[in-house]
Amino acid sequence: MNNNPHSYTDEEANRVAYLIAGYIRNTLTKAEHEELDDWVNASDRSMKLFEDLTDEQNIEANLQMMKKTPSERIFQELQQSGRFEKPKRRKSRLGWISAAAVAIVFLGVFAVWRYAGTASSQSSQVQVVKNDVLQPGGNRATLTLPNGSVIDLAGAKKGGLPSVGALNISKRDDQSLVYGQGSNANDAELMHILTTPVGGQYQVTLYDNTKVWLNAESILRYPAVFTGNERKVELSGEAYFEVAYNAGSPFKVILADSDTITVLGTHFNVQAYPGEKEKTVTLAEGKVLMQHDKDKALLAPGMQAAIRNNTLTSTGNVDIEAATGWKDGLFVFHDAPIKQIMSQVARWYNAKIIYQAEIKQEFNATIKRSEPLEKLLHLLQLNGHVQFKIENNIIYVYP
């Protein structure tokens, strides 16, 4: 696509309209989804246009409006003028998006791009009084060994770790730790603690080949070797698990208050930060049994269990992408309240948040976690319902 965000062609408008329409209907291939992501993140204006055109309320309102107009005729005219064509090679079990919705998406893209050629951006800038401390987080963690020694993994060299005795533990790259075979059963009693600070994240492959992604300000406690008829770890904070299947040894994640997650082999996200009002378990693949006191919830893919006010509930058809996007280096906000967003921002950028008023508006955005804080806040400001000021390590939130 055109690298100049202020210069567009009809061909580019056609392509972006097709990608956004496919996103709405969930018919994009992986390559097309990546192409759309690149376009969305290329500029603030692209992000704002994408959010507007994919907002469910906007789509519904425009569809209602177009019911009063000959939408099929509009679509045919667009095709005849060469401004929109269905890709000849595209195959989809869901079928093509309706002519009315296509017209809405195309006209929205085309109108905004044409308007951009004659009008300057009206988006406001984030007020920065002083900021030389709030930077994006990175791959940082410490490993505490049974003898009490602490290894700074960010500073450790790649390869086998020192001071771990006969244990086969190595730093694979800048972001992951691997427990290999070769340790003996006596090591099962040796508990290790992987800790990420505010603004830190890390991965670990446990002895049984279970993979764990640890988010910022989290603690994972686990044995060097799993033995017996169960595999048990303890978590405070947030982590994504890809559990290696073993029918004879269920995998258990123990949270505060003895809340327990039991699985055989599955992929799921756990959010259980101390001080938060709610703990959640979101299941991507497999099955999970969540237990709180005497209450239990069996989850299937796409379901989420939540503990709030000492009550366990479960819901289906939840937003998996929003719950797990952090693992892939993304902030994913879908109809998210500002306090939920800023709690993630605070942990990743090591910031303190001060609210100057209540913000009731919900937000939609997908933003790379590597982005500078000013850009992230600026993208959130584009909807016109919130303003930010940065001063040292404090982010002030205004209506």
**pLDDT number for residue 41:** 77
**pLDDT number for residue 80:** 47
Q: In sequence order, which residues have a C-beta less than 8 Å from that of residue 79 and are 6 or more positions away? A: 85
Strand partners, 219: 195, 236
Predicted TM-score (pTM) of this structure:
0.70
Question: Can you tell me the distance from the alpha carbon of 248 to that of 174, in angstroms, rounded to the nearest whole number?
Answer: 34
Run means of pLDDT, 10 residues per run, the chain, 399 residues:
44 72 74 81 73 65 50 47 39 39 53 42 61 83 90 86 71 87 62 94 94 96 88 95 91 89 92 90 93 90 91 89 92 89 94 90 86 87 83 88
Tokens representing residue 96 in the block: 């093509």
Question: Can you tell me the distance from the alpha carbon of 52 to that of 61, in angstroms, rounded to the nearest whole number?
Answer: 12
Between CA 323 and CA 253, with CA 256 as vertex, the angle to 5 degrees is 60
**pLDDT number for residue 83:** 40
**pLDDT number for residue 187:** 60
Q: Are strands 176-179 and 330-337 parallel, antiparallel or unpaired?
A: unpaired
User: Is the sign of the CA dihedral 336, 271, 347, 368 positive or negative?
Assistant: negative
**pLDDT number for residue 82:** 41
Q: What share of the chain is helix, strand, coil (3-state, %, to 5)?
A: 30, 35, 40
Report all structural domains of the chain as residue ranges with CATH numbers, in order of start: 10-116 (no CATH), 127-133+329-398 (3.55.50.30), 138-322 (2.60.120.1440)
Question: Can you tell me the distance from the alpha carbon of 329 to that of 321, in angstroms, rounded to the nearest whole number?
Answer: 12
Are 306 and 292 a contacting pair, CB within 8 Å? no
